[in-house]
Structure 1
């Protein structure tokens, strides 16, 4: 009974988009006039990143009308409600945009003008069962039109074969009240994006963007909140600073991934010994971990595994239950080719740099840069503190921009992943350089999903 009441309350609070069936992506805004703060951030961020400018994506909001949510007068001028909801559904065969109408005659007049201007045939409205429909073919191929009932209208733009299906979908959408979408009810925002297994809610002010979402199949280990973390009192620093509490299953996943990475850049390291060491160490880990990525220094082609490994100067820390057992398990490292025994651990020279493994109390620290490793060890607090979330992170956007900017053109031409990083650098680099900070958190959610939140802050406007 109680669970039924909770579900009912959740659905009642969830946004209700008029989303088309088989949509690959749905964008929903419950109230267009509530986007003032988010639009202000995008307008300012768009000064440095063209893709975020409202005028770069406003053409996607409607198949044939030119509207801009940041300018209410553009909606009123075509008979649409600047304070109403809006839902855009992207499908393989086209898109459907559903909005609220305030002036039916004005809308139909402006729609007819826009359809004709877009190369459509002369619009001829038909009425059936209280629904007015318009469906025309475009000279360039495909079709466009709308279905209108009362104050609700769903317009569509279709590919060559999608016209009849999208017209039918538009009629269906205006024919009944939209149902609450429980996925959107799990996040907050003034605008929502749902694509595949990811749902994102967006909100903002003139200098702050707030993102909250849920996602399936992220390449991350499962998290598990704990009462305290040995890293809870540490102050964030460097390019990326993250404190996490990983579940037992996630510990094995994380250690296995790290072991495979080290093995790939250390061909001389005996594979069986490395595996035995990591298996033993994994059993001693509590799940509390720290990631400290200080900066990026690329020396060579990022297509080479060793260059990639040492490009990000970083150190990882992990809490262990029995430091003596971990030390004994790692002792064989001292016999690896070129290895040196340190007062509190070992160093292992590799092509491109050295790996450092150090112990401080119940903390195991692994780093690929001596200075970053030493600084991380020195900063480890003697007492733990509560973490509000299973994982949190802090990013220095300026350092991140400089790191992304080190991807070379030759690497871009030869590697799709590096090309993607280059594209991010080109588009967001200038914005990152002008940003103040990026912070956020993550938690695990049922069904192997993750919840996340991100806050992107620009300097206060002068």
Structure 2
């Protein structure tokens, strides 16, 4: 009985978007007049990243009306409620925008003018079962229109041939009370974006953006907060500093990722030996880990796996259960091609450089740069402390911008992933270089999903 009451209460509090079926992405704003803080951040960030400027996406809020949520008078002028909700559904055949009407007569008159100005052919409103519909073919192709019932209206803009389907969807959406979306109640924000298995809530101020979300398809192992971590008290430094607590069930996945990288860099290394060593190492891990990415130094084309691996100077640290047992598990590394025995571990010569595998007390350290590895080992504390989240991270936006800027044009032209990095650098690089910090956390949630939170902070003064 109690779980049922809890579920009912959660659903009652959940936002209820009028989301179109088959939507690839849905943007829902429960109250348009609550966007001031988020818009303030986007306005300021947009000075350095044009894509984030509100003027760049305001046109997407409605298929044919020009509105600005930060200026209530623009909504009132077209008969819409500036305090009401808004849901925009993006589909392969167009988009549907559902809002609340303040004055139906004003809305219909303004819609008629806007549709005509947008190239819509002459139309006549039709009313059936309390729903007034308008459907107009564009002279340049596609269609636009709306369905209006009482105070609810859903307008659409369709691609060629998509008009009838979107009109039908609009009628359906205004004809019933929308069901609460429990996914949105699990994250905080004044605006929500859902796409695929990811849900993100956004909020902000003039100097900070907060993103709170869940994702079902992240290529990450499950995490589990532990009672204490040996890395909790360490000071975040460098490009990316992250403390991680991997759940026991996720340790094989975490180690397999590193094993695959080493195997790719050392094709001469016997696969079965590398796999057996990785399995033995996995059994000796507690789950507490540290990722310390210091900086980016690109040398050569990033199309090569070894260039990518060594471009980010980093060290990975993992707490071990038994230092002697871990040393025994790692012993086969000494027989691999290019391996060199060190006083505190091994150095494996591979394409592009050396992979360092070292032990310090109950810490396993794997690095691709001698200086970063040495600095990380020197900073390891002896005492443990409480880690509030299963994962926390600190990202230096200036170092990130500097790293992204090192992607060359020749690499961009031949690799989709590098092209995406280049696009991020071009669009967000100037903003990142002027940002103060980016911090966040992550944890696992039931169903194999991950919950994440990000706080992007700009300097207090401009």
- TM-score w.r.t. the length of structure 1 is 0.98
Q: Counterparts of 2:270 and 2:189 in 1: how far apart (Å)?
A: 52
Q: Report the 3-state secondary structure (helix = DSSP H, G, I; strand = E; otherwise coil) of the residue aligned with 2:356.
A: strand
* Shift of residue 151, structure 1, vs aligned partner: 1.5
Q: Report the 3-state secondary structure (helix = DSSP H, G, I; strand = E; otherwise coil) of the residue aligned with 2:116.
A: helix
* Shift of residue 100, structure 1, vs aligned partner: 1.1
Q: Counterparts of 1:277 and 1:171 in 2: how far apart (Å)?
A: 61
CA contact (8 A) 1:233 1:381 kept: yes
* Shift of residue 92, structure 1, vs aligned partner: 1.5
* Shift of residue 348, structure 1, vs aligned partner: 2.2
Q: Counterparts of 2:408 and 2:170 in 1: how far apart (Å)?
A: 47
Q: 5+ residue gaps in structure 1?
A: none
Shift >6 Å, 4+ stretches: none
* Shift of residue 123, structure 1, vs aligned partner: 3.1
* Shift of residue 160, structure 1, vs aligned partner: 1.9
Q: Counterparts of 1:131 and 1:337 in 2: how far apart (Å)?
A: 75
Q: Counterparts of 2:183 and 2:391 in 1: how far apart (Å)?
A: 22
| Alignment-derived partner of residue 349 in structure 1 | 349
Is residue 357 of structure 2 the alignment partner of residue 360 of structure 1?
A: no
Q: Report the 3-state secondary structure (helix = DSSP H, G, I; strand = E; otherwise coil) of the residue aligned with 2:34.
A: helix
Alignment of 1:173-184 (within 5 A): 173-184=173-184
| Alignment-derived partner of residue 96 in structure 2 | 96
| Alignment-derived partner of residue 22 in structure 2 | 22
Q: Counterparts of 1:338 and 1:141 in 2: how far apart (Å)?
A: 64
Alignment of 1:207-246 (within 5 A): 207-246=207-246
* Shift of residue 378, structure 1, vs aligned partner: 0.7
| Alignment-derived partner of residue 205 in structure 2 | 205
CA contact (8 A) 1:115 1:123 kept: no
Q: Counterparts of 2:338 and 2:150 in 1: how far apart (Å)?
A: 79
121-130 or 53-62, larger mean C-alpha shift: 121-130
1:102-124 deviation line (CA, Å, top 9, x unaligned) = 12221111100000011111231
| Alignment-derived partner of residue 339 in structure 1 | 339
| Alignment-derived partner of residue 396 in structure 1 | 396
CA contact (8 A) 1:112 1:122 kept: no
Q: Report the 3-state secondary structure (helix = DSSP H, G, I; strand = E; otherwise coil) of the residue aligned with 2:447.
A: helix
Q: Counterparts of 2:56 and 2:90 in 1: how far apart (Å)?
A: 17
Q: Counterparts of 1:329 and 1:183 in 2: how far apart (Å)?
A: 44
Q: Report the 3-state secondary structure (helix = DSSP H, G, I; strand = E; otherwise coil) of the residue aligned with 2:413.
A: helix
Give the 3 Å change call, closer, same or farther, for CA 135–329 of structure 1 in structure 2.
same
Size of the aligned set, in residue pairs, is: 462
1:117-141 deviation line (CA, Å, top 9, x unaligned) = 1111123112222221111111111
Q: Counterparts of 2:342 and 2:42 in 1: how far apart (Å)?
A: 51
Q: Counterparts of 1:175 and 1:270 in 2: how far apart (Å)?
A: 65
CA contact (8 A) 1:44 1:206 kept: yes
1:258-295 deviation line (CA, Å, top 9, x unaligned) = 11111111233333322221111111011111100000
Q: Report the 3-state secondary structure (helix = DSSP H, G, I; strand = E; otherwise coil) of the residue aligned with 1:309.
A: helix
1:300-353 deviation line (CA, Å, top 9, x unaligned) = 011111111100000000011011011122223233344332221122222322
Q: Counterparts of 2:251 and 2:105 in 1: how far apart (Å)?
A: 63
* Shift of residue 157, structure 1, vs aligned partner: 0.8
CA contact (8 A) 1:313 1:369 kept: yes
Is residue 460 of structure 2 the alignment partner of residue 446 of structure 1?
A: no
Q: Counterparts of 1:279 and 1:150 in 2: how far apart (Å)?
A: 64
Tell me how large the CA RMSD over aligned residues is: 1.2
Q: Report the 3-state secondary structure (helix = DSSP H, G, I; strand = E; otherwise coil) of the residue aligned with 2:331.
A: helix
Q: Report the 3-state secondary structure (helix = DSSP H, G, I; strand = E; otherwise coil) of the residue aligned with 2:283.
A: helix
| Alignment-derived partner of residue 157 in structure 2 | 157
331-340 or 184-193, larger mean C-alpha shift: 331-340
